[in-house]
Amino acid sequence: MTRGRASGLGRCHVCGLTYAAQYEAVTGAAVFCPRCGARTCLRKPNSLTRTWSWLIAAAVMYVPANLLPVMYTHSLFRSSSSTLLGGIAQLWVAGEWDLALIVFVASVAVPLTKIICLAFLLIGVQRHSCWHPRARTRLYRAVEFVGHWSMLDVFVVALLAALVQFGTLAQVHAEPGIIAFAAVVVLTMIASMTFDPRLIWDAQDATESGRESV
């Protein structure tokens, strides 16, 4: 199967125009789309380095996101601060196991799984792995699709902080943990955006080209 890159063709990421990319293929420099003027390149520049940087930053922020309190609630009867895991435990003890499961998946499991999956894809590309490139491409698409659902807790805390303000009767405030959690979500989203899934197939093409030359 012949790819556009091997034929000296590139594709604009903005307007979808297929253009001749012989100069770009030789020098690796970015060029501009002849139709819309957008900057284009055959592969995202420094994709692995940039993705690793964002992913490591997300992994670092994941620790305080789970250890620091995310919400402070105050009422006439009691005041308390709760972390993500603490809030999930409270929901479970209160019998709201369905809500606890939703919050756990969206706030704990999804960000951690996204970090692990992106690291797996990066390591595979760096090792020039030819292991099931189609499955790894589907994994990348799944990571992109579910990533934004991790913002569920951020939206909930923001709504509660805006709506539940009754003076001394009841108050809800966001705590530093929610900032760290939002940073994890944003950093993992940027990491998935900077990763170039076409790199998954480059190793496969190199292997097939080597077999043909033999």
Q: How many CB atoms lie within 10 A of CB 24?
A: 19
- Domains plus CATH for the chain? 1-42 (no CATH), 45-213 (1.20.140)
Structure tokens, 77: 């009867």
**What would the pLDDT profile of 7-62 be if each residue is shown by its tens digit?**
677 778 778 788 776 545 444 555 778 888 888 777 888 899 999 999 999 999 99
**What would the pLDDT profile of 70-94 be if each residue is shown by its tens digit?**
877 766 666 677 788 887 887 788 7
Sheet containing strand 170-174, edge to edge, reads 79-82, 71-75, 170-174
Q: Give the span between the Cα atoms of 140 and 199, in whole angstroms.
A: 12
